[in-house]
């Protein structure tokens, strides 16, 4: 199941894995294992119900018959994506029955030594020390899954990539020299091979359970790669840009939240990041038609997934040449 | 995890303090059974929110600052919306304020239930985690998960999502929740209130170390309510009181070498924000039922034992359930979700009571609505000096314990604060050095 040459050991052999659509290239784990097609997926980009039961039942016994060891790691982040795991109140005890929670500092003092079968990684790389630590984690992990916008796109803290970090340091801190921090915030896949990336700020807990269930059953996660628009249509939402002239990133944003924002009458602000094929140029034109100034359009692309290549390019293009 | 230094001193080293939000360490140096140095090291990498908020639009902080913390996003949303409304010169309606309070009740329930049962109770019961606790205290853990879920459901219904709610805007909400959806939560909230009141008695049976600290308590205060989504003024146990807008005149932030989070002083002194401060300064504003629950659990109207914060937090948990039910019972459909706002040049402060304590934001905005300056002061930052003070007292008081036991006590002393280190930098490696 593993395609990483650099980590052998018991972890790699003992458990089922998530098979990406194709082998991941180092530094480019945008596989997103596109399995579901528009119209064929479950409602709201959600997980088919059986997945929960599937997660709850013990893994198809790995050779060792031991539960796979799960580790949860944190880099620069808000803890929201790991909290999504603790927020699975109805499923938490089943999850703890299906996997051995071996390292999860937010939840337990107990530390079981690696290697780990499955690592969930939250947060982005923003310090020299973290650049080093992620390699150690990769070496100790059978399957490595990044959770959330920080880990898959650099998060909101990637806004530093457009700014002078020395200035940021001095705005916030009286003694910038006490800090050791990088000029950039980068996704995990920029540093090590990643087996699967789960989008969202935060991740959707139903999708998180689907990823765990898929891992335990040695299959691909069924996560939709179509846009938020599809979720709106399924829900019967009125299209907010068409009906109300509200700017909306839904057409270029990957489904997963259940089209939350339009359901609440506001435009999508892109917290699930770009869908697999986006037409940001067309969306930019539409945002102009809705009356947005260039500076506003740039800011819209630069939020929680500012560092995702598609959003990064779209924002940069408007900044460089104007949207008109 | 103990090693002896060349000079004969000792270092205890815990790789990372567990069951807190974020990452940090602590360093305690003991010479001749005297504590000579205590440092809380927050090494969570800085994320520079105050830097990149400059140049953003005044409508953006509720969504952006929510991402400082996944555990208390509503605290950030409430303080930032209030600051912006001060700047815009708009008054929201009572209905909007009430709905903000209901959303905040959801956050208190979710966050307090998480901390009380999943992060803090294992210390008193001698477990490493709630998952281990589940083997012997299955019914308590089931109850805890139910309570926490009530909070999340409330946040989902009012805010659209439990983590980083999408329904909050400067001026109010995008959409008011429907009474029918709120009523659907009622049965579980009623059960939650009963469970929380029972939990107050349960946690009061824990074994509490004797430790009383002479803190300067600071909290919001409101004439009509226990402080939550806002207060009318700031009050301190020193007797000082002033409007929220004057917070920057009393709280001074400063940077020390051993922490990525700024420290703070209140009128030049270390101070304490959080449940113990809120409770002690606002006991009279608790509901009669919660006052009674607190007193029958052995608390008095003031509480200065930081380990008993778990009881106070549970009283507040019950209070949040009661408030949620009260608000839902008084709710009617048909209120406007927001008031219109326009940018105006100016400066404003907004404050609210995060589960961990007072949080305040100050912004300066120009006439085009662009943010020129932002200051965000979360509770854990303000509490760092108090945490260090408790660590010093704990290390002095229990200096004769073996390293393992002392380490555990000190960790627990930090967890009393439910510190949110993600917030404070926008955690903990324990080192005790003995010689
Ligand atoms: S992706 Fe969003 S929710 Fe997840 S850790 Fe980052 S900021 Fe928090
Ligand atoms: S911003 Fe878009 S992707 Fe995020 S919750 Fe809203 S609708 Fe969903």
* Angstrom distance (rounded) from CA A273 to CA A197: 12
User: Would you say residue A58 has pLDDT above 80?
Assistant: no
Residue B195 — very low, low, confident or very high, per pLDDT cuts 50/70/90?
very high
Point out the ligand 1 atom lying closest to the alpha carbon of residue A148: 1
User: Would you say residue B156 has pLDDT above 60?
Assistant: yes
User: Would you say residue B309 has pLDDT above 70?
Assistant: yes
Q: Which two tokens stand for residue B306?
A: 């930081």
Task: Give the pLDDT score at B64.
Answer: 97
User: Would you say residue A59 has pLDDT above 50?
Assistant: no
Q: Which two tokens stand for residue A50?
A: 């059986």
Using CB atoms, which residue from A76, A80, A159 is nearest to B45? Answer: A76
User: Would you say residue A217 has pLDDT above 80?
Assistant: yes
Task: Give the pLDDT score at A156.
Answer: 95
Point out the ligand 2 atom lying closest to the alpha carbon of residue B160: 5
Tell me the mean pLDDT in the region B204-222.
94
CB A116 within 8 A of CB A140: yes
For B125, phi then psi, to 5°, come to: -95, -5
- A266 in contact with ligand 2, CB cutoff 6 A: no
Q: Write out the E strands in chain A.
A: 34-36, 69-74, 100-103, 116-122, 141-147, 196-198, 223-224
Of A30-39, A281-290, B70-79, B178-187, minimum mean pLDDT range: A30-39
- The residue among A212 and A173 whose pLDDT is bigger is A212
Contacts 24+ apart (CB under 8 A), B220-227: B220/B244, B220/B278, B220/B351, B220/B352, B220/B353, B220/B358, B221/B281, B221/B282, B221/B285, B222/B285, B225/B101, B225/B285, B226/B278, B226/B282, B226/B285, B226/B286, B226/B287, B226/B319, B226/B323, B227/B278, B227/B282, B227/B285, B227/B353
Task: Give the pLDDT score at B420.
Answer: 72
Using CB atoms, which residue from B114, B130, B163 is nearest to A84? Answer: B163
Find which of A92-106, A268-282, B312-326 is predicted with most confidence, using mean pLDDT: B312-326
Residue B44 — very low, low, confident or very high, per pLDDT cuts 50/70/90?
confident
Of A168-172, A226-230, B360-364, minimum mean pLDDT range: A168-172
* Angstrom distance (rounded) from CA A230 to CA A232: 5
List of chain B residues whose C-beta atoms are within 8 Å of the C-beta of residue A101: 129, 131
The C-alpha torsion from B191 through B229 and B174 to A299, rounded to 10°, is -130
User: Would you say residue A242 has pLDDT above 80?
Assistant: yes
Residue A44 — very low, low, confident or very high, per pLDDT cuts 50/70/90?
very low
| From A75, A86, A155, A305, mutation site for ligand 1 pocket: most ligand atoms within 8 A of C-beta | A155
Using CB atoms, which residue from A110, A173, A174 is nearest to B129? Answer: A110
CA of B409 to the centre of ligand 1 (A): 31
Task: Give the pLDDT score at A187.
Answer: 97
Decide if A108 and B19 are in contact by the 8 Å CB cutoff: yes
Task: Give the pLDDT score at A172.
Answer: 66
- List pLDDT tens digits, range B362-377: 999 999 999 999 999 9
Please give the model's pTM, rounded to 2 decimal places.
Answer: 0.89
User: Would you say residue B234 has pLDDT above 80?
Assistant: yes
Q: Which of A141, A155, A156 is nearest to A187 (CA)?
A: A155
| β-strand partners of A197 | A146
CB contacts under 8 A, B 71-110 vs A, are 71, 73, 110
Residue B18 — very low, low, confident or very high, per pLDDT cuts 50/70/90?
low
B21 CA: distance to closest CA in chain A (Å): 6
CB contacts under 8 A, A 95-114 vs B, are 96, 101, 105-111
Candidates B41, B49, B52: best to mutate against A (most CBs of A within 10 A) is: B52
A88 CA: distance to closest CA in chain B (Å): 9
CA distances from B129 to A102, B125, B126, B309 (A): 11, 10, 9, 19
Q: Which two tokens stand for residue B380?
A: 């854990």
Of A3-17, A310-324, B13-27, B254-268, minimum mean pLDDT range: A3-17
B147: Cβ contacts below 8 Å, ≥ 6 apart: B109, B113, B117, B192, B195, B196, B199, B317
A35: Cβ contacts below 8 Å, ≥ 6 apart: A21, A220, A221, A222, A223
- A307 in contact with ligand 1, CB cutoff 6 A: no
* Angstrom distance (rounded) from CA A165 to CA A184: 8
- The residue among A146 and B426 whose pLDDT is bigger is A146
Using CB atoms, which residue from B149, B164, B174 is nearest to A89? Answer: B149
User: Would you say residue B139 has pLDDT above 70?
Assistant: yes
Is residue A100 packed enough to be buried (19+ CB in 10 Å), middle (13-18) or exposed (0-12)? middle
User: Would you say residue B67 has pLDDT above 60?
Assistant: yes
* Angstrom distance (rounded) from CA A55 to CA A312: 36
User: Would you say residue A49 has pLDDT above 60?
Assistant: no
Task: Give the pLDDT score at B241.
Answer: 97
- A257 in contact with ligand 2, CB cutoff 6 A: yes
Tell me the mean pLDDT in the region A29-56.
37
Task: Give the pLDDT score at B7.
Answer: 53
User: Would you say residue A38 has pLDDT above 70?
Assistant: no
Residue B423 — very low, low, confident or very high, per pLDDT cuts 50/70/90?
low
User: Would you say residue A176 has pLDDT above 80?
Assistant: no
Task: Give the pLDDT score at A177.
Answer: 66
Task: Give the pLDDT score at A305.
Answer: 97
Task: Give the pLDDT score at B134.
Answer: 85
Candidates B24, B41, B44, B48: best to mutate against A (most CBs of A within 10 A) is: B48
- List pLDDT tens digits, range A118-130: 999 999 999 999 9
Average confidence score pLDDT of chain B: 89
User: Would you say residue A22 has pLDDT above 50?
Assistant: no
Residue B236 — very low, low, confident or very high, per pLDDT cuts 50/70/90?
very high
Task: Give the pLDDT score at A12.
Answer: 37
Tell me the mean pLDDT in the region B17-37.
75
B318: Cβ contacts below 8 Å, ≥ 6 apart: B193, B196, B197, B199, B200, B289, B290, B293
């Amino acid at each position: 199941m593993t395609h990483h040459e650099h980590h052998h050991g018991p972890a790699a052999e003992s458990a089922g894995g998530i098979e990406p659509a194709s082998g991941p290239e180092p530094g480019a784990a945008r596989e997103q294992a596109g399995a579901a097609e528009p119209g064929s997926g479950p409602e709201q980009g959600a997980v088919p119900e059986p997945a929960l039961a599937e997660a709850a039942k013990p893994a198809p016994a790995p050779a060792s018959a031991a539960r796979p060891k799960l580790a949860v790691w944190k880099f620069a982040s808000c803890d929201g994506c790991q909290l999504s795991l603790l927020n699975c109140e109805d499923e938490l005890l089943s999850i703890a029955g299906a996997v051995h929670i071996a390292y999860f500092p937010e939840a337990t003092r107990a530390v079981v030594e690696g290697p780990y079968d499955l690592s969930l990684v939250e947060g982005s790389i923003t310090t020299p020390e973290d650049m080093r630590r992620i390699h150690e984690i990769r070496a100790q992990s059978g399957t490595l899954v990044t959770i959330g916008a920080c880990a898959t796109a650099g998060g909101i803290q990637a806004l530093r990539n457009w700014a002078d970090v020395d200035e940021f340091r001095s705005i916030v801190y009286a003694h910038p020299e006490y800090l050791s921090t990088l000029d950039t915030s980068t996704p995990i896949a920029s540093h090590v091979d990643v087996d699967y990336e789960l989008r969202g700020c935060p991740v959707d807990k139903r999708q998180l359970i689907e990823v765990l269930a898929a891992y335990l059953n040695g299959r691909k996660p069924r996560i939709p790669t179509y846009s938020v628009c599809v979720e709106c249509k399924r829900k019967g939402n009125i299209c907010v840009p068409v009906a109300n002239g509200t700017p909306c990133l839904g057409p270029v944003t990957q489904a997963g939240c259940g089209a939350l924002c339009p359901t609440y009458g506001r435009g999508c602000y892109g917290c699930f990041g770009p869908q697999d094929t986006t037409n940001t140029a067309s969306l930019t034109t539409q945002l102009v038609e809705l009356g947005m100034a260039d500076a506003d359009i740039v800011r819209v692309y630069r939020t929680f997934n500012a560092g995702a290549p598609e959003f990064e390019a779209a924002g940069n293009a408007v900044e460089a040449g104007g949207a008109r | 995890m103990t090693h002896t230094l060349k000079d004969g001193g000792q270092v205890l080293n815990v790789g990372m303090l567990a069951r807190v939000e974020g990452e940090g360490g602590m360093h305690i140096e003991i010479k001749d059974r005297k504590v000579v140095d205590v440092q809380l090291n927050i090494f969570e990498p800085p994320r520079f929110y105050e830097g990149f908020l400059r140049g953003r639009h005044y409508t953006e902080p509720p969504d952006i600052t929510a991402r400082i913390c996944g555990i208390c996003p509503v605290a950030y949303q409430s303080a930032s919306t209030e600051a912006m409304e001060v700047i815009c010169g708009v008054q929201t309606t009572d209905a909007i304020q009430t709905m903000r309070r209901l959303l905040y009740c959801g956050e208190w329930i979710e966050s307090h239930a998480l901390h009380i049962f999943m992060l803090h109770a294992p210390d008193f019961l001698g477990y490493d985690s709630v998952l281990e606790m589940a083997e012997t205290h299955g019914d308590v853990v089931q109850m805890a998960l139910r309570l926490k879920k009530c909070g999340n459901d409330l946040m989902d219904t009012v805010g659209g999502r439990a983590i980083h709610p999408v329904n909050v805007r400067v001026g109010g909400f995008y959409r008011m929740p429907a009474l029918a959806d709120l009523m659907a939560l009622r049965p579980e909230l009623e059960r939650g209130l009963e469970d929380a009141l029972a939990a107050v008695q349960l946690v009061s049976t824990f074994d509490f170390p004797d430790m009383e600290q002479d803190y300067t308590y600071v909290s919001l205060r409101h004439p009509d309510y226990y402080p939550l989504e806002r207060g009318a003024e700031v009050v301190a146990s020193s007797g000082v009181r002033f409007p929220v807008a004057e917070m920057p005149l009393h709280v001074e932030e400063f940077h020390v070498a051993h922490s990525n989070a700024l420290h703070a002083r209140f009128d030049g002194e270390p101070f304490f924000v959080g449940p113990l401060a809120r409770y002690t300064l606002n006991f009279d504003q608790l509901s009669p039922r919660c006052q009674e629950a607190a007193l029958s659990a052995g608390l008095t109207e003031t509480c200065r034992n930081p380990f008993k914060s778990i009881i106070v937090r549970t009283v507040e948990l019950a209070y949040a359930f009661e408030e949620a039910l009260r608000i839902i019972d008084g709710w009617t459909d048909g209120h406007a979700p927001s008031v219109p706002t326009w940018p105006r040049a100016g400066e404003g402060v907004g404050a609210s009571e995060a589960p961990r304590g007072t949080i305040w934001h100050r912004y300066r905005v120009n006439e085009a609505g662009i943010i020129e300056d932002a200051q965000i002061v979360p509770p854990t930052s303000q509490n760092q000096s108090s945490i260090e003070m408790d660590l010093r007292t704990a290390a002095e008081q229990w200096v004769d314990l073996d390293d393992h036991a002392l380490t555990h006590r000190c960790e627990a002393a930090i967890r009393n604060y439910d510190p949110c280190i993600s917030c404070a930098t926008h955690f903990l490696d324990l080192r005790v050095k003995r010689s």
